[in-house]
């Protein structure tokens, strides 16, 4: 499988999002997904301390076992775990890192990401704590998530001569084009950041299994989602664009899943498309999805999905 760079790291262009681990998937099902990913050449796994009520990291560590050194593991910190464990203050950065290492059963984290900006803490202080952990060999590269362009520029300036953020993880898909509009993709080019899109399949809308006007597939993420959240994804605006994409995919003879992955990877800023999976067949479908799209197809996809 092709790889791309995040700082010093080589990551497979298809990754596994681990937010299902410890929530929808037990240890046995997690093992199946992780082992299928390794068999398919996927070497990038993205988790967070908050996923699965802290169990995602545990399940991932167990599933990887002795193969930990063969992969790139990304995790995140900063989202509230309880009333005391949250944020980006230096003391908590160290505590969160140590806790993640213990849960993973590992000595290092390849990519450690601030899950969201913490306006109560100067970014200089957070970066200082992360750099200390790098110097100790506990993390290799650092990244952020849900940052704006102004926050990215501020972090770059605050890093000074020390290693800056190497990646940003924001929402991006054919159906959610904000990083193009708010300048984050441009900032990635300017600052040399790898972009990691979350919700790359728009919570299942781009898998081909969700069809406008038809019942949601039983057990799917959208079917299990709280109604107040699923209503956003099932709006008329999204449904119209999904219908247009399905028709175009049929004309091309290409699965909509492949178009969703390939369109993202046509943007060189995107380092890896990290998508969740619940079983081996979904992992294989994701791993084999990327295609090289010609400019005409990319332009048509842009037009069909323009907000």
Q: Which residues are catalytic?
A: 51
Our measurement of the distance from residue 104's CA atom to the centroid of its chain's CA atoms, rounded to an integer in Å, reads 18
Question: Which has the closest alpha carbon to 289: 23, 25, 6, 41?
Answer: 41
Count CB-CB contacts under 10 A for residue 267: 16
Count CB-CB contacts under 10 A for residue 193: 25
């Amino acid at each position: 499988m092709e790889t791309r760079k995040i700082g010093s790291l080589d990551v497979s262009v298809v990754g596994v999002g681990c937010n299902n681990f410890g929530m929808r998937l037990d240890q046995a099902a997690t093992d199946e997904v992780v082992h299928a990913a390794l068999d398919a050449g996927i070497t990038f796994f993205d988790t967070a301390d908050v996923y699965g009520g802290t169990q995602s990291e545990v399940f991932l560590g167990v599933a990887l076992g002795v193969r930990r050194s063969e992969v790139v593991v990304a995790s995140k910190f900063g989202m509230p775990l309880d009333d005391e464990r949250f944020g980006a203050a230096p003391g908590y950065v160290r505590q969160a890192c140590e806790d993640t290492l213990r849960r993973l059963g590992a000595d290092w984290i390849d990519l450690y990401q601030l899950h969201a900006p913490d306006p109560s803490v100067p970014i200089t202080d957070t970066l200082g704590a992360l750099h200390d952990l790098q110097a100790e060999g506990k993390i290799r590269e650092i990244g952020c998530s849900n940052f704006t362009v102004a926050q990215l520029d501020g972090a770059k300036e605050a890093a000074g001569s020390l290693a800056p953020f190497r990646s940003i993880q924001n929402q991006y898909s054919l159906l959610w084009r904000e990083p193009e509009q708010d300048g984050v993709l441009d900032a990635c080019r300017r600052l040399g950041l790898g972009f990691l899109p979350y919700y790359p399949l728009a919570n299942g809308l781009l898998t081909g299994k969700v069809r406008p006007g038809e019942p949601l597939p039983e057990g799917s993420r959208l079917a299990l989602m709280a109604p107040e959240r699923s209503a956003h994804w099932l709006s008329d605006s999204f449904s119209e664009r999904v219908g247009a994409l399905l028709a175009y995919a049929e004309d091309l003879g290409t699965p909509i899943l492949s178009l969703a992955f390939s369109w993202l990877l046509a943007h060189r800023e995107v380092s890896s498309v990290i998508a969740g999976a619940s079983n081996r067949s979904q992992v294989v479908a994701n791993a084999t999805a990327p295609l090289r799209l010609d400019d005409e197809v990319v332009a048509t996809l842009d037009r069909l999905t323009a907000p």
